[in-house]
Structure formats: C-alpha cells, structure tokens
Amino acid sequence: MTLRGENLIGAEARRGTEAAVRAVAAATGESLEPDFPGASLGDLDRACALAEAAFDTYRETDPETRAGFLEAIAANILETGDALVTRCMEETGLPRPRIEGERARTVGQLRLFADVVREGSSVAVRIDPALPDRKPLPRPDLRLRRIAVGPVAVFGASNFPLAFSVAGGDTASALAAGCPVVVKAHPAHPGTSELVGRAIQKAVASCGLPEGTFSLLFDAGQSIGQGLVADPRIAAVGFTGSRRGGTALMAIAAARPVPIPVYAEMSSINPVLLFPGALAARGAEIGQAFAASLTLGAGQFCTNPGLILALPGPGLDAFLEAAGAALRDSPAATMLTPGIQRAYREAVARMAGHAAVTRIAEGAEGRVTQGRASLFATDSDVFLADPALQEEMFGASGLVVRCADLAAMRAVLEHLEGQLTAALHLAPEDHAAARDLLPLLERRVGRILVNGFGTGVEVAHAMVHGGPYPATSDGRTTSVGSLAIDRFLRPVSYQDVPDALLPAALQAANPLDLPRRIDGVPERR
Ligand SMILES: NC(=O)C1=CN([C@@H]2O[C@H](COP(=O)(O)OP(=O)(O)OC[C@H]3O[C@@H](n4cnc5c(N)ncnc54)[C@H](O)[C@@H]3O)[C@@H](O)[C@H]2O)C=CC1
Ligand SMILES: O=C(O)CCC(=O)C(=O)O
C-alpha cells in the first residue's frame, strides 16, 4: 500500500496543512518519503466532533458487533502484510523478528479483548431486586452496569510501534470498552501509524460503525496533542512515553474546567534483587540472563532491568563477571530516534562521570545512530544519598548497587520511586528473606516476578503493567491485559427504572446474555 501522508479523520483521509512530520530511517538517519503534514486545529475539532457524535451509537453496540470490529482490525493489520513490517523496521531500526513478534502480540491483544467483550463481565451487571415488603423500609429495584466514559485520546509509544501505538493496548482497550478513539501519532513512526490507522478505518467502515469511532492525527509539534487533551469532548487519555511528556499532559487534563483521567505509563528502572542463595548457586547464569534482558531492543523497554541490588560475595563476583563479559561482547544497537540516542548517551555520560560510581563493562562502540551497553556499580549509601542515580537511563544500561546486608537492601527499596516491576532471584533458602520484603515490594511496584526479568509483558487477564507514580500516573490500574478495559468504564445505577426503559444489558430477560450478580451472587447460567 502506498503511503499518502494523510490524517484520517472519521471516514476521510486528508493531507494536513501544518508543518510536516518526516520519518527518519533509524539506522542511517536518512529522511523517508512521504511528508506527513500536520493536522490543523480545525482537523482536531472535526475529529473530536465526529468522536462525540459516534459515542452514543458506538457504546451501545452489542457485544458481537464490537468483538467483530476488534477482530476485523486484527485481520486488516495482518492483511497489510510485509509492507507494514518493512516500513516499521525502517522507521524504528528494530529487527524483523521483533516487529513480526510485536505484530502477533498486537493482533493477539485485539482478539483477546474481543473475547472479553463477548464474555461480558467487564459490563459488571449487578441486580438487587426490589424488596417491597422489607421492614422498616422497602428496598428499591437497583441495577448497575458500566458504560464507556466517552471519546479517548491515545498517545502511542515510540518503542513499541505496534503493540503500544495506533492499534496498541490503549486503543484496543478503549474500543473494547465502547469509547471512540482519537490517536495522536508518534512522530517517530508516521508511516507505520498511517498503515495501521487505515486498517482501523477500513474496519470501522466494513462493520457499519459511525465514522467518528476512530481518527488519527499527525503533528510535528505539540499543539494537536495538547489541544486533544484539553478538548471538552475527550473524556480520558492513554499515554506511554517520557515522564516529562506524561506529566505535561496530566497538568493539562487537571487544569480543564472538567478534569479528566490520564493513564500515563512513564519511567521505571525495575529493581532486580539478587538474594544470596541464588547468587551462590547460579551467579554466572543469572548474569548472562540479565545481560540478555538489559540489551533486548537496544534496552528501549520500560521494563528494562536498570537497577540490581545484591550483597557482596563470590556469587555477586560471578554475576558481574558473566554479565560484564556478555555486555562487552554485545554489539551496539540502533536506537529509535536521534533524540532518544542523544538522551541515552547523555544519561550514560552522567553516570560515568559520577565520582562514586565505577563502570564494570561497556559494549562495542557503534555508529552515531546506535547505543552501546553499559554496566555500572556503586554502594547503597551512595545510591541513597543521590536521587539522580535512580533516574531512568532509557537504553541498555544498568546500575548494580552493593548492599552490605538485607537491611541495606530494604533501605534502598524504601527509598525507591514507584516502579513497574521488581524481579527476585531466589533459591529455596532465600524464601524467608524474600517473604520479609514482599509487603514493601507490593507498595512499590505493579508486578513482582521470581527468577526472571520483566521484559516481555504477557498480554493476559492476570497481567498488571502499571505501578505507583512515577511508573504510571495512576497505580490503580494496568495498560496491558484485559483489566486495562476497566480504565475506560464507569458505573451507572438504575433505580426503579421500568424494564422497557432499561438498557438491554440490564433487562430482566438478559437479551445480551451477560454474566450478572443477583443480590451479590453470581447467576448460574
Ligand atoms: N518508560 C517508557 O515506557 C518510555 C520512556 N521513554 C522516554 O521518553 C524519551 C523520549 O521518547 P518519546 O517516545 O519521544 O517520548 P515523549 O514522551 O517525548 O513523547 C511521547 C508522545 O507524547 C507527545 N508529547 C510529549 N510531550 C508532550 C507535550 N508536552 N505536549 C503534547 N504532547 C507531548 C509526543 O509528541 C509523542 O507523541 C526517551 O528518551 C525515554 O527517556 C520513551 C518511550 C517509552
Ligand atoms: O516489556 C514489554 O513487553 C513491554 C514494555 C513496555 O511496555 C514499554 O517499553 O513501553
């Protein structure tokens, strides 16, 4: 399919009139055709007006229609074929297997959400039938369902151009909830965005949905993104990116006459706790696995294991030797954008220049578009004294913090900001020490994992990809997995409303065949 560089506004495709986004080949820095002229404020207004007009129809689509729509998007993405894969590889510098895997994850995510829509439990129907004879007062008939919150603005991530972008988790969960979506395309992969946007636009048409169910806008600056969050017709925001970007959008959302929630997934250094028993038994093995996780995707994962906590000893020495050797052998890797490469280089230089930090290993040098792996080390009292040491280095670099004992490890964890993940490496004899730290870890992170690393998030019902601020703006929820749908729903209760006036979801005959709780008890079906 030929790229046209057009904004997709409802059923229309229109070239913008503002400064153009131009894709850059991540590996070479060459600019790629075509231009993607930015949307005007008029285009933004039209996309929001169409989304608002679509809302009441789209949110009341029956489960089968909405699930079929999500599946049609998945099928259309696959139909885009190799054109999508090659453009995405060019724009991001990510290798083919990664992009093909990410496409499979994106399509699988849409299909999972289709299953959840068909199954119906996110509507959360509760019925407390009237008790007219109850003394001293009768109880009214109460019926609850959850409805979609309204049109959602989505800002995709640069580092997951498919799974966290135009048809990624935020879009899929908002559409599954019944919310129209307006996407502000990430400027790092405009061609990928257009191809996926057209796949969604085509599915809107083939499923007979209102055209405003989906729009996609390009912008070389920030006025469209900011205007979108400020627009009174937008009811919630999904975002993955930098802390600076996420907090800027949170401030705009909070300052509106009607504030709205922003679900921003931002920075995280994902502590890895190496317990003594595990280190003694397999320090070198853990070191190799750590190096593989650290360098995955040039380290450009928000789940990247950036902080390692361990007690000194022969086990830690073996870990450092194996990790250091693997990292010294690791080739430099193309980074997503010149801006991300520069930010990474500067973050590594700051760490290398710290008087109380030593560099354990450095990967091979590469081209100007590439990032090289690094591993640093320091002691827990240095780490505790300098908050700058817990800033995310977005790339393949990590910091090992030597903790004199488990109390020092606890002190470091207490001092940490909110995180997406914590990984514990344990042998059976470490269980007591780990059990002591679990309540603290629960307060700091969204996902606790054992004998593994957090990179590679499973899209599943029991997944939490979230965590306390600043890992995300709202630690009560997740941006991956079926629970992500709940972000875009709110409960409405209907009291003594006649059956003929009730939405189908709450009618006595249960025409949508939804799971229900009657008087608090799940109904047998
Ligand atoms: N933790 C994570 O998951 C990720 C972190 N990052 C961090 O972010 C840095 C920059 O990467 P980007 O992907 O470009 O993230 P970014 O946060 O700069 O941009 C993400 C999206 O938000 C928009 N945006 C950012 N600031 C805005 C503002 N003030 N007003 C309106 N729109 C705004 C951008 O145009 C883009 O569409 C990286 O070097 C890295 O440090 C990037 C990707 C993922
Ligand atoms: O590790 C993953 O699979 C997802 C990571 C992620 O969400 C991110 O880097 O933004």
DSSP letters, 264-318, are EE-----EEEE-HHHHHHHHHHHHHHHHHHHHGGGG--TT---EEEE--SHHHHH
**Is ligand 2 within 6 A of the CB of residue 302?**
yes
Tell me, in angstroms, the distance from the centre of ligand 2 to residue 170's CA.
13
What are the structural domain ranges in the chain?
A: 7-266+476-487, 271-450
Tell me, in angstroms, the distance from the centre of ligand 1 to residue 510's CA.
44
**Is ligand 1 within 6 A of the CB of residue 301?**
no
Task: State the pLDDT confidence band at 253, using cuts at 50, 70 and 90.
Answer: very high
60 is catalytic: no
pLDDT of 358 > 80? The answer is yes
**Is ligand 2 within 6 A of the CB of residue 179?**
no
In this prediction, residues 114-133 reach a mean pLDDT of 98
Q: Whose alpha carbon is nearest atom 38 of ligand 1?
A: 340
| SS3 label, residue 403 | coil
Residue 497: count other Cβ atoms within 10 Å of its Cβ.
Answer: 15
Catalytic pick among 102, 302, 392, 417: 302
In this prediction, residues 32-46 reach a mean pLDDT of 98
Return the pLDDT at 525. 80
DSSP state of 391: S
Nearest C-alpha neighbor of 337 from the set 190, 472, 168: 190
Contact 359, 393 (CB under 8 A): no
Per-residue model confidence as pLDDT tens digits over 436-468 = 999 999 999 999 999 999 999 999 999 999 999
| SS3 label, residue 159 | coil
**Is ligand 1 within 6 A of the CB of residue 364?**
no
Q: Could you tell me the strand order of the sheet in which 521-522 lies?
A: 489-495, 142-148, 125-128, 516-518, 521-522
Which residues have a Cβ under 8 Å from the Cβ of 417 and sit 6 or more positions away? 390, 468, 469, 470, 471
Tell me, in angstroms, the distance from the centre of ligand 1 to residue 49's CA.
26
pLDDT of 248 > 80? The answer is yes
Region 7-266+476-487: CATH code = 3.40.605.10
Nearest C-alpha neighbor of 297 from the set 117, 155, 159: 159
Domain 271-450, CATH number (from 3.40.50.300, 3.40.309.10, 3.40.50.720, 3.40.50.11720): 3.40.309.10
In this prediction, residues 336-348 reach a mean pLDDT of 97
Q: Whose alpha carbon is nearest atom 37 of ligand 1?
A: 186
Q: Whose alpha carbon is nearest atom 10 of ligand 2?
A: 302
| Structure tokens, 312 | 């000194």
Per-residue model confidence as pLDDT tens digits over 48-105 = 999 999 999 999 999 999 999 999 999 999 999 999 999 999 999 999 999 999 999 9
Tell me, in angstroms, the distance from the centre of ligand 1 to residue 150's CA.
24
Nearest C-alpha neighbor of 447 from the set 467, 426, 431: 467
Return the pLDDT at 1. 76
265 is catalytic: yes
**Is ligand 2 within 6 A of the CB of residue 477?**
no
Q: Whose alpha carbon is nearest atom 19 of ligand 1?
A: 241
The one-letter amino acid code at 212 reads G
**Is ligand 1 within 6 A of the CB of residue 229?**
no
Task: State the pLDDT confidence band at 524, using cuts at 50, 70 and 90.
Answer: confident
Return the pLDDT at 517. 98
Among 296, 302, 304, 419, name the best residue to mutate to test ligand 2's pocket (greatest count of ligand atoms within 8 A of Cβ). 302
In this prediction, residues 396-407 reach a mean pLDDT of 98
Among 105, 109, 159, name the best residue to mutate to test ligand 2's pocket (greatest count of ligand atoms within 8 A of Cβ). 159
Return the pLDDT at 445. 98
Tell me, in angstroms, the distance from the centre of ligand 2 to residue 478's CA.
12
Per-residue model confidence as pLDDT tens digits over 196-210 = 999 999 999 999 999
Per-residue model confidence as pLDDT tens digits over 364-390 = 999 999 999 999 999 999 999 999 999
Catalytic pick among 265, 362, 392, 417: 265
**Is ligand 1 within 6 A of the CB of residue 165?**
no
Which residues have a Cβ under 8 Å from the Cβ of 411 and sit 6 or more positions away? 380, 384, 403
**Is ligand 1 within 6 A of the CB of residue 88?**
no
**Is ligand 2 within 6 A of the CB of residue 457?**
yes
**CA distance linking residue 397 with residue 362, whole number of Å:** 9
Tell me, in angstroms, the distance from the centre of ligand 1 to residue 166's CA.
15
Among 102, 109, 160, name the best residue to mutate to test ligand 2's pocket (greatest count of ligand atoms within 8 A of Cβ). 160
| Structure tokens, 43 | 């285009």
Return the pLDDT at 389. 97
Return the pLDDT at 32. 97
**Is ligand 1 within 6 A of the CB of residue 158?**
yes
Tell me, in angstroms, the distance from the centre of ligand 1 to residue 230's CA.
18
Identify the nearest ligand to the CA of 297 by its number.
2
Identify the nearest ligand to the CA of 230 by its number.
1
Place of tokens 């169910």: 213
